[in-house]
Structure 1
Amino acid sequence: MNSEMDSSSGEAEISFDFRPFFRIYKDGRIDRLAGNDIVPPSIDHQTGVSSKDFLIVPETSVAARIFLPKITTSAQKLPLLVYFHGGGFCVETPFSPEYHNYVSSLVAEANVVAVSVHYRRAPEHPLPIAYDDSWFALQWVASHSKRNGPESWLNKHADFGRLFLAGDSAGANIAHNLAMRAAETPLKNGLRIFGLGMVHPYFHGEEPLGPEASDEEKRQNVDLMWLSACPSTGGCDDPWVNPAACPNLAKLACKRVLVFLAECDVVRDGGLCYCETLRKSGWKGKLELMDVEGENHVFHISQPNSKKALAMQARLASFLNQVDQDYYHQEQLRSDHYVSLRSSL
């Protein structure tokens, strides 16, 4: 996939050509050939889902598109989803039509509040910048858990006892790495991540198995994608991208994990490796897997209304509506204690 333009033509030399998505030039510039369109926040009159944008860090342009389903009562508290878009760490945004529509549709079906994170992208902003931006956004979300944050929808309607992280492709990789970071650095106000949803997660290794290993061109693409996003890495056995190289996987800071795979996905084997490694790590949570036959990487974004994409969405929506019984037990104890104190006054 490496190619160079004829220097006599006056055009810059290309170091990495990943059409139809992007091209990276040797001088560091990037042509994003996809994911450049944006749509404004809106109200979907069919589903009742509303959206708005919030600039979290003006200096770095870290932002979020926030989605709220149709609210029936002002006291209604809904599961909270923090979503990270895919695109190889290099293309797409929460404001892209495909991602806006996907998250909006998921919010309508699952009846959740969603925060779709806009992080800075490689190669201009190489990893770990996307991880750091996403972590800052997650901490910003956590700052609302005492109902006094800057964003009213989160203060009024988010159930912080049901916090989920999710993403597709590179976004799933980000979600996983944030759950790993949360094991070492607590979220604000002691907030905990309940569940982690990963759609076609971008994981890789120096010695992958299956079709990825037998197709040298596809393997080279995956290698170069990682190296272009994270040039400071030691290679594809970096714990950020290879779960088998992560020494602390058992500490993954959530109780539930749902992984979606696709039969024809070039990084399917990385997702399988993740599941197998997590099972063997000693992690105490519950792992679920949905493997879809005959489909390619992130087909649910390009074919959102297909039967299999809708089935995936329904499964993820069900996952997002699980209840953290331990959290609610503690909340009930606090409530009972409060009632006892009031009755004794």
Structure 2
Amino acid sequence: MAMEPAPDEVDFESPGHFRIYKSGRVEHLNKPPVLPAGLDEATGVKSKDVVLDAETGLSVRLYLPKLQHEPSNKKLPVLVFFHGGGFMLESAASATYHTYVNPLAAAAGVLAVSVCYRLAPRHPLPAVYEDSWAALRWAASAQDEWIAEHGDLGRLFLAGDSAGANIVHDMLLRASGDGGSPRVEGAVMLHPWFGGSKRIEGETEVAAEVTAVFWKYACPGAVGGVDDPRLNPLAPGALAPEKLGCARMLVCTGSKDWFYARGRAYYEAVAASAWPGDVAWHESEGEEHVFFLEKPECEKAKQLMDRVVAFVAGA
């Protein structure tokens, strides 16, 4: 007599957002719509999708802000953006990120390249890092006509939120280990997601639990579990912060962010290291994790956008 398969039990749930089942299946409870590329009437930014690898599905969405007539020969900084979502959610084309990168490109005056990488658990790590590295190198090669014509690759920036900021950290280490190529001027870490097996001062039990569950499904083969250096850059054996391959860094978080303690510890470790670059800190008082995506019109979100814009401009 055939046995009925055991029901798929819920391992973790974020109410109103998603459920992760013990099988590794991820159920979206509030999946944002996918928006097409094109002209954004509100900002004047044009966007287009480019497939980089048809076999894996790796693609990018490029954003070109409205060009000013004077000076006609002025090129734009290039900003490569990595979306968040715990390595398992969202995409470059989701409303969450399309509606963030559009105004970012306009306000900062950058040619943005938003990376649409493969998602775990279907594609466990290191797929996300490999895709992100391939996309970064592609952007730096100026193969695309928009980048070749309008991009200043002497002013290359990386940015990402949550897991996307985690990706930024990995990209900086790769850039440093690859002879400094591509050369990155600055990196913006928006509410970075890091973890570790031992809770640090200020880290909540909920934050540690969320991190452990996500990492288990995103990277099931991780040596050391949550102390894998890709998730815990301060773990024994991790590459020292002085290996970061950029000249400037801005680390941002909210005072009520679940991952505030880890973000602050990362900032302090970089600031105290022998890294020769400049690192700055921006804290949004009273705000939670990636609040600027959910309420971009609030005053603190505008202040954060202004800070990112100033950082790209060199301030």
Q: Give the TM-score category using the shorter length.
A: over 0.9
Q: Structure 1 stretch 258-267 or stretch 41-50: which is displaced more?
A: 41-50
SS state of the match for residue 258, structure 2?
coil
Cα distance in 2 for residues equivalent to 1:25 and 1:266? 22
Q: How does 1:174-253 map to 2 (within 5 A)?
A: 174-186=167-179, 190-213=181-204, 216-233=205-222, 234-245=224-235, 246-253=238-245
Cα distance in 2 for residues equivalent to 1:29 and 1:259? 32
Contact 2:24 2:217 in 1 (8 A): no
Tell me the alpha carbon deviations over residues 17-48 of structure 1, each in whole angstroms, 9 at most, x when there is no partner.
34433333344433233445200012122321
Task: Label 1:217 to 1:274 Cα distance change in 2 as closer, same or farther (>3 A).
Answer: closer
SS state of the match for residue 41, structure 1?
coil
Flag structure 2 segments of 5+ consecutive residues without an equivalent. Answer: none
RMSD over aligned CA atoms reads 2.0
In structure 2, give the amino acid aligned to 1:165: L
Tell me the alpha carbon deviations over residues 291-311 of structure 1, each in whole angstroms, 9 at most, x when there is no partner.
111010000000111000011
Q: How does 1:1-345 map to 2 (within 5 A)?
A: 11-73=7-69, 74-144=72-142, 149=143, 151-186=144-179, 190-213=181-204, 216-233=205-222, 234-245=224-235, 246-322=238-314
Cα distance in 2 for residues equivalent to 1:300 and 1:25? 28
Q: Structure 1 stretch 240-249 or stretch 56-65: which is displaced more?
A: 240-249
Structure ranking higher in helix proportion = 1
SS state of the match for residue 102, structure 2?
helix
Cα distance in 2 for residues equivalent to 1:171 and 1:218? 17
In structure 2, give the amino acid aligned to 1:184: G
SS state of the match for residue 138, structure 2?
helix
Tell me the alpha carbon deviations over residues 236-255 of structure 1, each in whole angstroms, 9 at most, x when there is no partner.
22111112122332110000
How many pairs were matched up?
A: 308
Tell me the alpha carbon deviations over residues 171-223 of structure 1, each in whole angstroms, 9 at most, x when there is no partner.
00001110011111247xx430000100100011122324424xx33421222
In structure 1, give the amino acid aligned to 2:218: A
Contact 1:79 1:160 in 2 (8 A): yes
Contact 2:32 2:95 in 1 (8 A): no
Aligned-pair CA distance for 1:11: 4.5
SS state of the match for residue 37, structure 1?
coil
Cα distance in 1 for residues equivalent to 2:90 and 2:164? 11
What's the TM-score once normalised by structure 2's chain length? 0.92
Contact 1:75 1:156 in 2 (8 A): no
In structure 2, give the amino acid aligned to 1:70: K
What's the TM-score once normalised by structure 1's chain length? 0.84
Q: Structure 1 stretch 43-52 or stretch 192-201: which is displaced more?
A: 43-52
Cα distance in 2 for residues equivalent to 1:301 and 1:113? 20
Cα distance in 2 for residues equivalent to 1:300 and 1:47? 18
Aligned-pair CA distance for 1:113: 0.4
Contact 1:80 1:164 in 2 (8 A): yes
Give the ranges of 4+ consecutive aligned residues of structure 1 lying more than 6 Å apart after TM superposition: 7-10
In structure 1, give the amino acid aligned to 2:55: E
Contact 2:46 2:64 in 1 (8 A): yes
Contact 1:78 1:159 in 2 (8 A): yes
Flag structure 1 segments of 5+ consecutive residues without an equivalent. Answer: 1-6, 324-345
